[in-house]
């Protein structure tokens, strides 16, 4: 069995418009233990409103993707 190890302990979180699949913004420098903070409805709403404050319109449907890179050892 091949083993994989994280290249970097940090995770990027991509926020995507679910309808157009456009990447809206990315949250970097998270880790697995504090990932749940971002998925909290209240905190996520604050992040989206802050990151999109200069946008004309915030999309109705958002998708969140947590991204981490692993390398085969």
- Listed by start position, the domains of the chain span 4-72
| Model pLDDT for residues 4-57, shown as the tens digit of each residue | 988 888 889 999 999 999 999 999 888 888 887 777 899 889 999 999 999 999
Contacts 24+ apart (CB under 8 A), 22-31: 24/51, 24/52, 24/59, 24/62, 25/51, 25/52, 30/66
Residue 14 confidence (pLDDT)? 94
Cβ-proximal residues to 37 (8 Å cutoff; 6+ apart), any chain: 43
| pTM confidence score | 0.79
d(CA 17, CA 15): 7
């Amino acid at each position: 069995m091949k083993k994989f190890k994280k290249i970097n302990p940090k995770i990027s979180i991509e926020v995507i418009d679910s309808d157009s699949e456009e990447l809206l913004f990315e949250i970097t420098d998270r880790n697995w233990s504090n990932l749940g903070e971002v998925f909290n409805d209240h905190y996520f709403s604050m992040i989206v409103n802050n990151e999109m404050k200069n946008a004309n319109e915030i999309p109705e449907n958002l998708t969140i993707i947590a991204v981490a890179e692993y390398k085969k050892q």
